[in-house]
Chain A
Amino acid sequence: MTENLKPDTPEQLEEAVAWAVAEKQPLEILGQGSKHGWGRPVQAAATLDMSGLRGITLYEPEELVLSARAGTPLAEIQAALAEKNQELAFEPGDWAPLWGGAAGAGTIGGMLGCNMAGPRRIRQGAARDHFLGFSAATGRGETVKSGGRVVKNVTGYDLSKLLCGSFGTLAAMSEVTIKVLPKAEKSRTVLVLGLDDASATKALSAALGSPHEVSGAAHLPAQVAEASEVSYVRAAGGPVTAVRLEGPAPSVAARCASLRQELAAFGETEELHSRNSALLWRELADLTPFVKQPELALWRMSVAPTEGARLASKILEQRPGLHFYDWGGGLLWFGLSPGGDAGEAVVRGALAGTGGHATLVRAPQEVRQEIPVFQPQPAPLAALSRRVKEAFDPHGVLTPRRMYPEF
Chain B
Amino acid sequence: MRMPEPDAEVVARKGEIVKALQEIVPGEGVIFDPKELAAYESDGLTAYRQPPLITVLPETVEQVSGVLRYCHEQKIKVVPRGAGTSLSGGALPLADGILLGLGKFNRILEIDYENRCVVAQPGVTNLGITKAVEHRGFYYAPDPSSQIACSIGGNIAENSGGVHCLKYGLTTNNVLGLELVLIDGTVLRVGGKHLEAEGYDLLGLLTGSEGLLAVVTEVTVRILRQPATARALLLGFDSSEAAGDCVAAVIAAGIIPGGMEMMDRPAIHAAEDFVNAGYPRDVEALLIVELDGPEAEVNHLIERCSDIARSKGAVYERLSQSEEERAVFWAGRKAAFPAVGRISPDYYCMDGTIPRHRLPEVLRRMREMSERYGLRVANVFHAGDGNLHPLILYDANRPGELQRAEEFGSEILKLCVEVGGVLTGEHGVGVEKRDLMPSMFSETDLKQQQRVKCAFDPDHLLNPGKVFPQLHRCAELGRMHIHRGQVPFPDIPRF
Tell me the A residues contacting B by CB distance below 8 Å: 3-8, 12, 15-16, 18-19, 21-23, 49, 52, 60-65, 85, 115, 117, 121-122, 125-126, 128-129, 138, 140, 142-146, 148-162, 164-166, 170, 181-183, 185, 205, 208-213, 247-248, 250-251, 253-255, 302-306, 327, 330-331, 355-357, 359, 374-375, 377-378, 380-381, 384-385, 387-392, 394-395, 403-404
Known: A16-B490, A19-B490, A381-B190. A62 touches B204 (CB 8 A): no
Given A5-B493, A140-B480, A305-B115, 10 additional A-B pairs, CB 8 A: A15-B492, A21-B480, A150-B387, A150-B420, A159-B448, A161-B172, A209-B116, A330-B195, A357-B194, A377-B199
Q: Contact: A122 with B251, CB < 8 Å?
A: no
Q: Contact: A117 with B355, CB < 8 Å?
A: no
Interface residue range, chain B:
35 or more
B470 within 8 A of A: no
Across the interface, B444 reaches (CB within 8 A) one of A144, A170, A385, namely A144
Q: Contact: B228 with A211, CB < 8 Å?
A: yes
Chain A residues lying within 8 Å of B425, measured Cβ to Cβ, are: 150, 152-154
Chain A residues lying within 8 Å of B382, measured Cβ to Cβ, are: 152
Across the interface, A153 reaches (CB within 8 A) one of B198, B424, B445, namely B424
Q: CA separation between A156 and B208, bound complex, in Å?
A: 8
Across the interface, A183 reaches (CB within 8 A) one of B254, B354, B455, namely B254
**Which residue of the partner chain B has the closest CB to A258?**
B294
Q: Contact: A126 with B115, CB < 8 Å?
A: no
Known: A19-B487, A52-B493, A117-B196. A380 touches B188 (CB 8 A): yes
Chain B residues lying within 8 Å of A142, measured Cβ to Cβ, are: 444, 448
Q: CA separation between A146 and B300, bound complex, in Å?
A: 39
Q: Contact: B480 with A156, CB < 8 Å?
A: no
Chain A residues lying within 8 Å of B300, measured Cβ to Cβ, are: 248, 250-251
Q: CA separation between A304 and B442, bound complex, in Å?
A: 41
Chain B nearest CB from A217 CB (Å) reads 11
Known: A165-B200, A394-B478. A62 touches B429 (CB 8 A): no
By DSSP majority rule, is chain B's interface helix, strand, loop, or mixed?
loop
Q: Contact: B437 with A327, CB < 8 Å?
A: no
Across the interface, B199 reaches (CB within 8 A) one of A161, A205, A385, namely A385
Chain A residues lying within 8 Å of B77, measured Cβ to Cβ, are: none
A-B residue pairs in contact (CB < 8 Å), sample of 9: A63-B251, A148-B353, A154-B425, A154-B427, A161-B172, A162-B200, A209-B114, A213-B294, A302-B196
Q: Contact: B193 with A255, CB < 8 Å?
A: no
Chain A residues lying within 8 Å of B437, measured Cβ to Cβ, are: 155-156
Known: A16-B492, A183-B254. A251 touches B192 (CB 8 A): no
Stretch of B52-60, B163-171, B270-278, B391-399 contacting A (4+ beta carbons < 8 Å): B163-171
Chain A residues lying within 8 Å of B208, measured Cβ to Cβ, are: 154, 157-158
B205 within 8 A of A: yes
Q: CA separation between A64 and B112, bound complex, in Å?
A: 34
Known: A145-B441, A155-B429. A3 touches B480 (CB 8 A): no
List B residues 54-110 near A (Cβ within 8 Å): none
Q: CA separation between A291 and B480, bound complex, in Å?
A: 45
Chain A residues lying within 8 Å of B188, measured Cβ to Cβ, are: 378, 380-381, 384
List B residues 250-307 near A (Cβ within 8 Å): 251-256, 293-297, 300-301
Chain A residues lying within 8 Å of B116, measured Cβ to Cβ, are: 205, 208-209
B332 within 8 A of A: no
Q: Contact: B205 with A162, CB < 8 Å?
A: yes
Q: Contact: A154 with B386, CB < 8 Å?
A: no
List B residues 158-210 near A (Cβ within 8 Å): 158-159, 161, 165-166, 169-170, 172-173, 182, 186, 188-190, 192-196, 198-205, 207-209
Chain B nearest CB from A14 CB (Å) reads 9
Chain B residues lying within 8 Å of A403, measured Cβ to Cβ, are: 199
Known: A211-B226, A211-B228. A250 touches B200 (CB 8 A): no
Known: A22-B484, A153-B422, A155-B422. A4 touches B441 (CB 8 A): no
Chain A nearest CB from B387 CB (Å) reads 4
Q: CA separation between A388 and B457, bound complex, in Å?
A: 11
Known: A129-B169, A166-B200. A6 touches B441 (CB 8 A): no
B4 within 8 A of A: no
**Which residue of the partner chain B has the closest CB to A170?**
B200
Q: Contact: B490 with A5, CB < 8 Å?
A: yes
Q: Contact: A8 with B194, CB < 8 Å?
A: no
**Which residue of the partner chain B has the closest CB to A356?**
B194
Q: Contact: B225 with A381, CB < 8 Å?
A: no
Q: Contact: B455 with A15, CB < 8 Å?
A: no
Chain B residues lying within 8 Å of A6, measured Cβ to Cβ, are: 492-495
**Which residue of the partner chain B has the closest CB to A251?**
B297
**Which residue of the partner chain A has the closest CB to B441?**
A156
Across the interface, A148 reaches (CB within 8 A) one of B169, B421, B429, B482, namely B421
B390 within 8 A of A: no
**Which residue of the partner chain B has the closest CB to A404?**
B199
Q: CA separation between A61 and B249, bound complex, in Å?
A: 10
Q: CA separation between A167 and B186, bound complex, in Å?
A: 27
Q: CA separation between A143 and B492, bound complex, in Å?
A: 17
B127-149 near A? 1/0 per residue, CB < 8 Å: 00000000001100000000000
B356 within 8 A of A: yes
Across the interface, A380 reaches (CB within 8 A) one of B186, B200, B484, namely B186
Q: CA separation between A144 and B473, bound complex, in Å?
A: 19
B404 within 8 A of A: no
Q: CA separation between A162 and B172, bound complex, in Å?
A: 13
Q: CA separation between A124 and B215, bound complex, in Å?
A: 28
Chain A residues lying within 8 Å of B429, measured Cβ to Cβ, are: 154-156
**Which of A5, A154, A212 lies at the interface centre, i.e. has the most chain B CB atoms within 10 A of its CB?**
A154
**Which residue of the partner chain A has the closest CB to B446?**
A156
Q: CA separation between A128 and B236, bound complex, in Å?
A: 37
The 9 closest A-B pairs by CB, nearest first: A161-B204, A251-B297, A182-B254, A304-B193, A387-B455, A254-B296, A355-B192, A152-B425, A22-B487
Known: A142-B448, A248-B297. A388 touches B492 (CB 8 A): no
Known: A15-B490, A63-B355, A355-B193. A22 touches B483 (CB 8 A): yes
Q: Contact: B353 with A150, CB < 8 Å?
A: yes
**Which of B225, B249, B456 lies at the interface centre, i.e. has the most chain A CB atoms within 10 A of its CB?**
B225
Q: Contact: A162 with B492, CB < 8 Å?
A: no
Chain B residues lying within 8 Å of A250, measured Cβ to Cβ, are: 296-297, 300
Q: Contact: B355 with A212, CB < 8 Å?
A: no
Chain A residues lying within 8 Å of B455, measured Cβ to Cβ, are: 384, 387-388, 390-391
Chain A nearest CB from B473 CB (Å) reads 14
Known: A21-B482, A211-B226, A211-B227. A331 touches B195 (CB 8 A): yes
